[in-house]
Structure 1
């Protein structure tokens, strides 16, 4: 934790209130971005200090806090308005006041305390975004309570009550009134709720409910973590990196033995070790915007240079004593799962393959973010083979379409699965209906066939369409050391460490195999990747396409794998299954929120 913090010291302003790490911009103002750089490290600093470890820069944080909240100081963070980024960052300040007031509050003078309190109070009476942001008022309020500042507590209860509307069941939430779930469920909604369950000692019923939901949720979210510790790269805000593992630490912080402590500790420690091997910091040790390497292409409009420091949420268990069962436990490996695991609430099916977890996805969507369709709407995601973001929506031939079916009616522009008309789950099968154009309908079925998975698409179109469908992206080696094989109906990349293949199993149609190298810096983990594709044109009318897809580490791939390609399931049988057993994916069904 200290190794991650020290590189920030040269970037603190003279008054201590601003931390400016680069010239990149965000949709909010510079003062709020500088506050982000100041506040987010507190998510790791506070547990460190609470656990009795020395943090030698509290004087810097006290100085920054008093200057940043003082309207007369040049480093003032600015007045707070509705739905303001400052509300996000002040949650970390509230957390600090609640956990370690002896370091950040008690040494302040009375005038300074009044200034800080007034600023926090001005934040909490504004409107917060209707999603995980509602917990930010709650965290501010926990801090004000701890240091004896009075306020309208009914507003705290109101937001806590309103977050109940996000519940889907089995410990899952939506992140607001939206048709999607993502890593904000474990590293935000559950994370903050578990902190509340510990710090809000008087609210025992709600705290007990939060702990029980987290216990149930752990049974599912473990399928978003690979055997090597990697988290599923899925959804927005990937630059928060090892914040994803913060859920396991929050279980420990709240004393929730949702799995045996040895297993929880295994998930936790494998995760940080996986990240420790990747080039995620700049030359001076500052965390970069990106995922597996510095990469602005995959970032969001709200990712300032200080955004990645939400990763320090991972360090919450540092607040625990050394003799806590979490720290005393010997790490246990993740259990193996031979059969596909349906995750009904998010509309997913997890397949545990050697060295990887593949998650088939249906029912997730987001249409208001750069790269949103790649982040939410692909057919398959993986802990080992991260997804690509398309870099040019006017170059159909250069698009990756990993885990996707791309369609074009002019050979230049393209469409893919974006928003859905319907999303269903029946056991370990998934179905969606989507319209890339108003007059074109695609029905997609996803079927696990471990270590393969099968995609079936029924396309109804009034005009001819060019199609490209991609498998998993694997790392590209230098010196053209990778080997491609392709032909009618198949494409394979034999990489240095992994093999990726896609095979056409359409009943009456064969697409051509294509082995491509996507545009550099479009993959989350590897700057250069390889990708097998199937390409072909469908004529006006109804066409049924089907593909079998696989990717495995070379050591786990049977050299004769192309001789055991699964056959295309009978579509009529799939239709009967979904008529009899298909349920609307809860994440997709807004009316089903409870």
Structure 2
């Protein structure tokens, strides 16, 4: 089959050196030129809408590339098109001009875009500030300072005002409000919860997604620690100390191939997921004031370089992430509006430019001169409990490969967000398989049969229905999420570990308590989900494994495989189990419930439910539970083995031969759960 449509415009770039990264980034900027307004202040990339106005949407397209552009210029490189942005500063802040961005109001989207502009003034004033006329400087200062007396969301947004005032103070603008900046910083410090982690809001918020790391808080702290060392040394050292601790957790969200585990909202920002590593490198570069500054152990420059560049490299090979001309699309691996939030404009994906902050480092910097090192073995082949985000990460190795994924319980967005249950409420999230979102909302219509719930996107979830599959509910509002200790058997020995336990209520009279049991080395590619269901109504259930690429090599959908022992690509349904095998790997699910039986089906998911595979198959257990007034126990074993990924081409080459040996293994139900089940 011809592959002409499956090539990214950046696929041939090796992305090994500073010049390689510069080449990709400047090509991204070049692609924006035809979409830029005559005065440079607006970039229009499409006609889809957001909850905010069109001018703010076009300001997003203008401002977000500045993260990388300002860094490139600060690193003593040139970009011939940089004057488009300098002119845009003048025309966008001129209240008498045709391209005026408009004055800010309370909780205005324009506030978000101030952060990149403030950053540019702080690191590259000679390109963005000095060429402006006195009138334009005053207009820009007044416009940025216009947010100082406005109400802001009590979230990471406060960092955007910090950077606006930081930039203005660096260029000596009378519109800088240093007192406001300090007050914002003091308040942001109340989000800190320990061990390097900050939540995205005040006490009570349980949202610790990429906004707590690469999208906002950690990157902002690290850049501030670099830019404000002379003025605020104590706070800057505190921010570096947080990063030292945070890096030891955050590294687990990446796999050896450079993929980050998709989790939470705003994933259309793509390689911004790894921006922490760029900011980490910048912040831990020695200076004359801090000559002895070094990377915290066990990180080396080669390790940090690898973590950043492998992620950029992965995205550069995803054809669907870009138009043929090199403009970022709305979606994830491919254009997909199902995953978007109502604040994602066509310019939103350019928050990805945060990943290019490393371009501020000179070519002689050890980040560029050190040989790239592979993913550090210190953080592989392990099961790691991450207390603050309520995640258990597994990356155990086998002879046929490994799988980096998290078990998750307890996070949720602090306000309504599109597909929030899918983005925060699933039991599992995988670096290779990603996750799914419903194509018709949480109340997806099954039209009366469980075989037809393909639009539900219920991977990593237990979906429940009380109307024979017409509508479904999944875990969204999680209660009492916590880690608990348990004992398990491994290699003939009894060992101690932790699992995740939580409670959720699909309806007021239906209680589901979920126990998530991580893999062991005896069954490295399996995890267990155990659900105690207590209901006052008749229920139908659908529980999914991961979704996997659902096509044959010729592009047609997978065919059934009728022998359970076969390793051939295809789908298998065998009573209480279901499995799917394709070039992307193997996923499967088995029902181990003691007193009820669920049927295994290899469900062809609705197109564009999976973030990774536009056409996918989702092995599912379907059940019908009539007598549920007493506790009903659902015990589920889930298997996942990603394909070997060719890191040079980005192509998946199927599961390694011999994977069936791992499939035949089984994760034991821990004794404490066996006792609880028997007691009922």
Normalization by structure 2: what TM-score?
Answer: 0.83
Determine the C-alpha separation between the residues in 2 that align with 1:562 and 1:510: 21
Task: Describe the SS at the equivalent of 1:441.
Answer: strand
Shift of 1:484: 1.2
Determine the C-alpha separation between the residues in 1 that align with 2:343 and 2:158: 18
Q: Quick check: 1:192 aligned with 2:220?
A: yes
Paired residues, number: 576
Task: Describe the SS at the equivalent of 1:479.
Answer: coil
Q: Quick check: 1:454 aligned with 2:533?
A: no
Q: Quick check: 1:179 aligned with 2:206?
A: yes
Which one of 248, 251, 272 corresponds to residue 219 of structure 1?
248
Change (3 A) 1:374 1:66: same
Q: Quick check: 1:278 aligned with 2:283?
A: no
Q: Quick check: 1:167 aligned with 2:192?
A: yes
Change (3 A) 1:575 1:348: farther
Task: Describe the SS at the equivalent of 1:435.
Answer: strand
Determine the C-alpha separation between the residues in 2 that align with 1:186 and 1:329: 25
Q: Quick check: 1:82 aligned with 2:130?
A: no
Determine the C-alpha separation between the residues in 1 that align with 2:366 and 2:395: 28
Change (3 A) 1:571 1:409: farther
Which has the larger displacement, 438-447 or 334-343? 334-343
Determine the C-alpha separation between the residues in 2 that align with 1:231 and 1:434: 28
Which one of 453, 475, 480 corresponds to residue 422 of structure 1?
480
Contact (CA 8 Å) 1:513, 1:534: kept in 2 or not? yes
1:369-384, aligned counterparts within 5 Å?
Answer: 369-384=417-432
Contact (CA 8 Å) 1:263, 1:334: kept in 2 or not? yes
In structure 2, the partner of 1:474 is 548
Normalization by structure 1: what TM-score?
Answer: 0.94
Which one of 402, 405, 410 corresponds to residue 459 of structure 2?
402
Q: Which deviations, in whole Å up to 9, do the C-alpha atoms of 1:141-178 show, x marking residues without a partner?
A: 11111111134322111111111121121111111132
Determine the C-alpha separation between the residues in 2 that align with 1:82 and 1:355: 48
Structure 2: 5+ residue stretches without partners: 1-24, 285-293, 447-452, 485-496, 559-568, 644-654
Q: Which deviations, in whole Å up to 9, do the C-alpha atoms of 1:372-405 show, x marking residues without a partner?
A: 1000010010100110101123323232310000
Shift of 1:557: 5.6
Shift of 1:236: 0.1
Q: Which deviations, in whole Å up to 9, do the C-alpha atoms of 1:49-104 show, x marking residues without a partner?
A: 01111111232222211111111111110110111110110111111111111111
Contact (CA 8 Å) 2:439, 2:457: kept in 1 or not? no
Q: Quick check: 1:50 aligned with 2:74?
A: yes
Contact (CA 8 Å) 2:406, 2:430: kept in 1 or not? yes
1:92-491, aligned counterparts within 5 Å?
Answer: 92-150=116-174, 151-177=176-202, 178-187=205-214, 188-201=216-229, 202-255=231-284, 257-258=295-296, 259-279=299-319, 280-336=321-377, 337-353=380-396, 354-366=401-413, 368-392=416-440, 393-396=443-446, 397-398=453-454, 399-410=456-467, 411-426=469-484, 427-449=497-519, 450-477=524-551, 478-481=555-558, 482-491=569-578
In structure 1, the partner of 2:632 is 543
Change (3 A) 1:72 1:65: same
Task: Describe the SS at the equivalent of 2:339.
Answer: coil
Determine the C-alpha separation between the residues in 2 that align with 1:335 and 1:510: 43
Structure 1: 5+ residue stretches without partners: 577-594
Determine the C-alpha separation between the residues in 1 that align with 2:457 and 2:48: 27
Relative to its length, the structure with more helix (as a share) is: 1
Change (3 A) 1:562 1:119: closer
Which has the larger displacement, 396-405 or 438-447? 396-405
Change (3 A) 1:172 1:556: farther
Task: Describe the SS at the equivalent of 2:337.
Answer: coil
Task: Describe the SS at the equivalent of 1:428.
Answer: strand
Task: Describe the SS at the equivalent of 2:660.
Answer: coil
Determine the C-alpha separation between the residues in 1 that align with 2:620 and 2:584: 19
